[in-house]
Structure 1
Amino acid sequence: MARTLLITGASSGIGAASARAAAKAGWNVALLARSGDKLAELAGEIGDSALALECDITDRAALDDAVAKAVDQFGGLDAVFANAGMGVSKPGVEQGDPEQWHAMIHLNVLAVLQTAHATLPHLRRTQGHFVVTGSKAGRDHLKGSVYGATKWFVHGLAGNLAEEMREWGGRCTVISPGMVDTPFFEEAKPEKLQPEDVADAVVFALSQRKTSAVREIHLMPND
């Protein structure tokens, strides 16, 4: 029986590439994002192993409903990739925009917590795997970067969650990429990491034997 991976932020970039890579590796994929049209197109491309679930994951009721639909469709959850995130247009603190911080922290921090809280009971049943998108910005100190601070939270949470999940045979991995050529940036970055590079890291972490827990994968572009 195919295992099931739930992905947030699945409509483009790293999330979409990870959905394709996981499906190719034999996984069912439950695709969550706000962009219903993009999700439907991606699910149609992947085929019967994909389920498109239009969802704003900052809305806990909507998140719970999407998780329930995924479990009902595929019979359970074996892994979750908490990938949804955002940055801000004004990166510093003094000149930053508190309203942008609020939206970013709600998605990058609180929604990751909510995703874990909503899915851990299902992962416990399968001794499953929680994967989350961190960042080089969550490992280094970047001048005035509030975005980086949210990713420091993600890295800390991932380590703490790995210890919690270890008690019942689960695993947690943080994927930590440098600059990736995604819609996150206004201009294309073809010389940087590609979404498929990160997707391969996700599938690698998920493919390990039960005796191995890959806690972090850190990727950097060659150029």
Structure 2
Amino acid sequence: MKLLLVEDDAALHTALHRSLTRLGWNVQVCDDGRAALGRWRALKPDVVLLDLSLPGRDGLHILAQARDEGLVTPVLILTARGTVGDRIAGLNAGADDYLPKPFDLDELEARLRALHRRQSESYDKSASNPHDGKTISYDKESGAILHAGQVLELAPRELAFLRALMARPGQAVSKERLFEAVFPGLQDVQFEAIEVVAYRVRKKLQGTGTTLTTLRGLGYLLKLPS
């Protein structure tokens, strides 16, 4: 499991490198915001652990550009900025999870493994349902969702929503599960916000042969063409 740790505090990244390596992670460290995107592209990590206050370039700008480029690697923001506004800004920029400093190492590792597991489930489902041009598929190499060889233009939350559904094709996925995938740890977002994301995804699926069905009391179901 490859982890890119973007953190400029030498004592902290040394301690995290040592601890996470012992737990089985292959940890690569970047301590300069200006070099972070280049390392991200080159390493193709399974998870990115990203600080926000970095020399050269702010972590939020790094994250926003990565998502604009189609880099969908799960990102856990690790920062001393712990206000609700900071959490919302990070999640809006495309983060998958948020852990304020100081933190417990066991909790950090549990969250990292949860992000990696979620991503791996999506990959496994994609491998068993290869892209045939008739439906949408998840491209493991780029992290994009494709249709007819073209990348579907999706915002980070729309992508997280679709990834969660594609991990269970033909099965109902509850709104609660989808909410956690799209808004992880964000308690100030109203539950109905998942319906807005579903509406946007449904519009973007038009013409792909794949439909998003609402199952009252159960959640949502992704129907792939036969």
**Normalized against structure 1, the TM-score is what?**
0.42
Higher RCO (CA-CA < 8 Å; seq separation 6+): 1
Q: Radius of gyration: which is bigger?
A: 2
